[in-house]
A and B are shown apart, each in its own frame.
Chain A
Amino acid sequence: MRTLRILLQKEVRQIFRNKIILRIATIMPIMQFIILPLAANFEIKNINLVIVDHDHSVDSRKLLSDLTSSGYFRLIGYGNTFGQAYKSIETDKADVVLEIPNGFERNLVREGSQEIYIAFNAINGTKAGLGAGYLRTIIARYNKDLIVKLSPSMKSAQELGINVVPLPWFNSRGYYKLSLIPGILGMLVTLLSGFLTALNIVKEKEVGTIEQINVSPIRKRDFILAKLIPFWVLANVVFTIGLILSYFLYGIVSEGNLLVLYVFVAVYLLAILGFGLLVSTYSETQQQSMFIMFFFVMIFILLAGLFTPIESMAHWAQLITKLNPLAYLITVIRMVMLKGSGFKDILPELEIVALMAVVLNMWAVLNYKKKV
């Protein structure tokens, strides 16, 4: 116990001595946490629309005003020909081109139906898919109005109408920040704790001070623990600051008990720190260590289910997420903070992450050989 305390003293001193690293580890994530959430908005509105109206009739104009007054589409210009309008998609000015053919109104009245042509820039499939959905809803409504106007005897009462009532639970105002900010905080904490520990042991190797530890009677377990604890505390502090900031800046209040979240984060950090130390024990230079850690952290972050849902991933990628500790953190943060889940609800996730923490740290201890 005494060895551990002295080792801890050494580690803490080393951390506080290097003011630049300390600043990178605390101020940089916090700064990012203040700025980046402002970007976190998937909302699809203002889809840029270019119209090619060959008809210029009352009905075609009504369709246009229906589209622009919906709030989803923003009319950015008129094209004379489809080809000309297509250019504006090519140059990224427009997201969608809508062409109303000549004789639109006449055909509607005479033949009862008329086609219109729509082309989406679908590189971003999500945006195009949602945009097409909005468009279809607007056209369905337009069709109903049309019947009322052209043949009042049919009346819309004859038409079936199914009201779809979306009930977005746990985030009823549809606030993207609420859905993303807690996860971003989790990512930043992961980044800083992972990278800092990955550099730690390997630095002693590179500088050569590890030899002194190796020849001393310090036990491997104590050595690893002493490396782990300071960063664990640091990460918890940053996490807490983040929670406070997300309350004051974005008004995010946890639905569930924060204690539950802290229990999970405590265990989770052990897993991530253990992973960092493990990488550190395997590497010979700081550069190697950082590259390996970077490789895994990218996978952790992009396969965490925060920015793109895990359900949308390929099956094998979903299996990888089962091994991704960050995916569990994102799930649990959302469960506790948004859904108000309790300790019992998060127990399965907690067990898995605890198992990861034990395995990774044991592995790191075993792999750290007191040899040169």
Chain B
Amino acid sequence: MLVRTDSLTKRYGGFTALDGCSLGVPTGESFGLLGPNGAGKTTLLRLLLGYIRPTSGSAVVAGCDAVADPLGVRRRTAYLPGEARLFRRMTGHGVLDFFAALRRDCRRAAAVAVADRLGLDCDRQVARMSTGMRQKLALAVVLATDAPLVILDEPTANLDPTARAEVLDLVREAKRAGRTVMFSSHVLSEVEAVCDRVVILRAGRLVHDERIDRIRRGHRITARLAAPFAGVPAALADRVRATATGGGRVVLEADDSLAGLLGWLATLPVEEMQVEPVGLAAVYDRFHRPAAAESRA
């Protein structure tokens, strides 16, 4: 595991920002972090990088403890903060020069290449750049390093659609190069597009952890039955669950391929039936918008 946290907790007085978070990110994985504002995503990332100290628990990145050796963690990490602010009086080129001098693994030529791909004019002074342009500049700094772990906190916020697509391509390239990516975002489609696995945080707690390919394979079956639903047969209980029943209606979610379920479904007294992929949005809604998940069903 490149990243491992064990019961990681951060409290501010009576407020718990992160509560007993235990997770592991294997080397080379593209890892998505989902949750609404205040769910604890940024707190988790900042704990990993040693910006803040945990109230309890531990975090280890590439063998370096985040509290005892934060410098070791940052040697192996490229981090884009949620709100990347740069030196307003410098030009874009000045910023690239500064960070190339600050960290040995930040290659200036690579940073200029990323900036070019994102369509950024580096001759402009940072103070005269739009929020999106500053975001591109920060991305150029972060994605030009050779760090084995890349942590991106809402990297596509404020970007135009072209630049968003470019950033997602850059993330895929980083993954292909064998780097581990932690990708925090509110845009579910982006997480679904670039991540291998996703965890969902709610009110500081890790409430769900699932592989994206498994989510993609999952199906939701919404059916109206002529007779009361008798429940999922024991033989299928580990693959299918009924998420809503009542009024002659049943909503089933299958974690895997439909093959093997069709025989059972054919035995049900179905009047109407709709089959659709589950998708990340439905999984997210299950934890953060249960009413929406219900109505979607």
Q: Do A and B come from one complex?
A: no
User: B residues engaging A (CB < 8 A)?
Assistant: none
